[in-house]
Structure 1
């Protein structure tokens, strides 16, 4: 029998879990200090909710669950919709909107939500890419102003700094700006989606590659060139130049969009230790974004460590009316991989000989734990040196050897230190 995990999933050893626990505890503490309250949502959601067209490319990676009670053999030609009624969530945002729709009467306004849990996508397994992985999200629902954007960015930057990730950069843009850009260069609305997809690849294939891809999709070359010219005019802007540059470059962009981007840029500029930039090529793939979008990057990796944006129309699918909402998701797995294994915490093995009363052994262990440290009781077995080697490999930093004639215990470091 094969006892290995399913492809694209993995077992986690205690040392790996210890790192994950540390990262989660640090992030949780930061988010709690900003007023975010943790909730939980089910792993399974109604299939119609998960396939409503708002999950972008992730809907193609959806794990679907067969209905209960199906026969072992179904009639040929049976539509898939008659066989499936549930799916495993591919992110935490879609379940959050259902949660809010069901529970809004009992929630404060605005509602600051914090979620941590596994999600599933039918990815092609590869290094750093898993079919089951954890997401860590904060969202603010019910706040229409850019208070939400500024706070979410500040809280997430603080959380990343808290786990030791310095040197990050926040990239900021707006889906409404992207739509106005596409319209301004003469693209029909039916071509916008393809334009955004191609533009999102700029950092990987450069302008020549983007132009080749977009013209290959049938977009006019002069429109792509006009978009490039305007984008380059919006690159590398200081905070106090963002609003004017947007107004000059894309005159059709609504005044409130320009003002909001200028406000957020100014607030981010005031945050000590935070590096940010307005990125006119930032797209993000989710179809539910309606306003500002943002990502956090690090110079040591090519992918983003966190991302999010405003999704004012998604909650309405559950509630029947639109509610302003904005969220930020931390790439938990990526951060854990970057940090690697943490230094070992102080952990004591309490070894005892067979002729020592258990009451005495547990008294010694309680004394160690009383100092706020970790103590694990284990009987002496086998060769002493070999057992100490196994303890060190298991993460213990020191040991106490309790013998029948022990009066005062002596703690000794492991590893010959």
Structure 2
């Protein structure tokens, strides 16, 4: 976890302001959920490895003997936990407030989440997620709305040229079945397939054999990965999808993906659809049931966000199945890539005053400038005036004025800091 200094905080809020503005323009409404959820919800077996990284809250009133007796039973020790994502809280929120929400609910959730990650560059134990979700729509329109809104948001941040890699968990299941992998082996097989970009087809086949996967299935999979392919450009559509899959891919799933592409093309106004079908995109969350996707940009080799359809989650809390799909922007990665205006304008002023200027005069000068719409900071003059000006500029201030005793409000000379 980390502290955020003023200049960084201003930049982060500038990025968030752009994201909020674009998401609201696409008809999404912002909600807020508590930072803690019930332990049973956070550990319902749908959060994948994130459940192992959850911070749990000790039950109130336990004495040392009770803690010792319950040492092997986490549920007896904790009844609450810090949220590790925003999707599980949203499912609980919708189940609790459904009567007050529209039939198709489009939500924005922006907030901190906590995971007991191993500290390393780019990975924090507290970080911000920016999620939009569509609940109550099982059609391709829902995925398309999420993708169009998210692409619009990153475009507005100056990251033009982003695209979305897309797949469907049902496609993965069908492929593994067609190759002959038994159902019990598939979770481990998917973990290995997720490394395809890093270790290549040969590395994937070798690791699957090391795992003890069905030998005939591994052979069939390796043959498919190494099949001869003609080098030609295929825009996103049925031809590209079917060419990337074994023969006889399910028509219903292919049609759903094609429908998403048609809707995204219409929504973005781009003749070249910013979607790429990737039959080996996995994404690790256990609650995904259909389409899955990741946001890519040519400037970096990692994803800037992602999501998918999780039609089975809300039913666990509501007792009635409700379709749902979400898209999460990787805010911590985005904020390091983009430059946005942070409100630093010529009306951001530092008043540098001598020690003998009466407090009443200082507040009068400050109030007069604030009344014109300026942002004003008072600073006592120091021996190293250059360092004071440099720090003020780094904090986002653009102008300064020196104040001596007896000066009249409104008569100060403003000078640029840069």
TM-score normalised by L of structure 2: 0.89
Looking at structure 2, the residues matched to 283 and 132 of structure 1 have their Cα atoms a distance apart, in angstroms, of: 25
1:79 aligns with 2:78: no
The question of whether the paired residues in 1 share the 8 Å contact of 2:13 and 2:342 is answered with no
More displaced 10-residue stretch of structure 1: 39-48 or 273-282: 273-282
Partner of 2:55: 63
Match among 28, 31, 43 for residue 20 of structure 2 = 28
How does 1:342-357 map onto structure 2 within 5 Å? 345-346=344-345, 347-353=348-354, 356=357
1:195 aligns with 2:180: no
Cα displacement (A) at 1:400: 1.4
The question of whether the paired residues in 1 share the 8 Å contact of 2:238 and 2:254 is answered with no
Partner of 1:412: 415
Partner of 1:16: 8
The question of whether the paired residues in 2 share the 8 Å contact of 1:349 and 1:398 is answered with yes
- 1:93-114 per-position Cα deviation (integer Å, ceiling 9, x unaligned): 0010000000000011200110
Cα displacement (A) at 1:66: 1.4
Partner of 1:39: 31
The residue matched to 2:304 in structure 1 has which SS?
strand
Partner of 1:208: 202
Cα displacement (A) at 1:354: 5.1
How does 1:369-388 map onto structure 2 within 5 Å? 369-382=370-383, 384-385=385-386, 387-388=388-389
Partner of 1:6: none
Match among 99, 115, 118 for residue 121 of structure 1 = 115
Partner of 2:150: 156
Gaps of at least 5 residues in structure 1 are 1-8
Aligned-residue RMSD, C-alpha: 2.6
Match among 250, 257, 262 for residue 261 of structure 1 = 257
How does 1:179-194 map onto structure 2 within 5 Å? 179-194=173-188
The residue matched to 1:54 in structure 2 has which SS?
coil
Partner of 1:144: 138
The question of whether the paired residues in 1 share the 8 Å contact of 2:11 and 2:342 is answered with no
Looking at structure 1, the residues matched to 331 and 96 of structure 2 have their Cα atoms a distance apart, in angstroms, of: 27
More displaced 10-residue stretch of structure 1: 399-408 or 155-164: 399-408
Cα displacement (A) at 1:88: 1.3
Looking at structure 2, the residues matched to 342 and 40 of structure 1 have their Cα atoms a distance apart, in angstroms, of: 26
1:240 aligns with 2:233: no
The residue matched to 2:124 in structure 1 has which SS?
coil
The question of whether the paired residues in 1 share the 8 Å contact of 2:361 and 2:405 is answered with no
The question of whether the paired residues in 1 share the 8 Å contact of 2:104 and 2:134 is answered with yes
Looking at structure 2, the residues matched to 221 and 268 of structure 1 have their Cα atoms a distance apart, in angstroms, of: 40
User: Residues 395 and 265 of structure 1: is their aligned pair in 2 closer, same or farther, counting only changes over 3 Å?
Assistant: closer
User: Residues 112 and 224 of structure 1: is their aligned pair in 2 closer, same or farther, counting only changes over 3 Å?
Assistant: same
Looking at structure 2, the residues matched to 48 and 336 of structure 1 have their Cα atoms a distance apart, in angstroms, of: 33
Partner of 1:328: 327
Looking at structure 2, the residues matched to 118 and 192 of structure 1 have their Cα atoms a distance apart, in angstroms, of: 33
User: Residues 393 and 262 of structure 1: is their aligned pair in 2 closer, same or farther, counting only changes over 3 Å?
Assistant: closer
User: Residues 192 and 413 of structure 1: is their aligned pair in 2 closer, same or farther, counting only changes over 3 Å?
Assistant: same
The question of whether the paired residues in 1 share the 8 Å contact of 2:307 and 2:328 is answered with yes
The residue matched to 1:249 in structure 2 has which SS?
coil
The residue matched to 2:64 in structure 1 has which SS?
coil
- 1:260-285 per-position Cα deviation (integer Å, ceiling 9, x unaligned): 11111223344346632111110110
The question of whether the paired residues in 2 share the 8 Å contact of 1:181 and 1:250 is answered with no
User: Residues 365 and 194 of structure 1: is their aligned pair in 2 closer, same or farther, counting only changes over 3 Å?
Assistant: same
- 1:34-85 per-position Cα deviation (integer Å, ceiling 9, x unaligned): 1111111111111111111111111121212211111124445743232122
Gaps of at least 5 residues in structure 2 are none
Partner of 1:175: 169
User: Residues 91 and 392 of structure 1: is their aligned pair in 2 closer, same or farther, counting only changes over 3 Å?
Assistant: same
Cα displacement (A) at 1:356: 4.8
More displaced 10-residue stretch of structure 1: 362-371 or 190-199: 362-371
Cα displacement (A) at 1:376: 1.8
Cα displacement (A) at 1:410: 0.9
The residue matched to 1:100 in structure 2 has which SS?
helix
Partner of 2:248: 251
Looking at structure 2, the residues matched to 43 and 234 of structure 1 have their Cα atoms a distance apart, in angstroms, of: 51
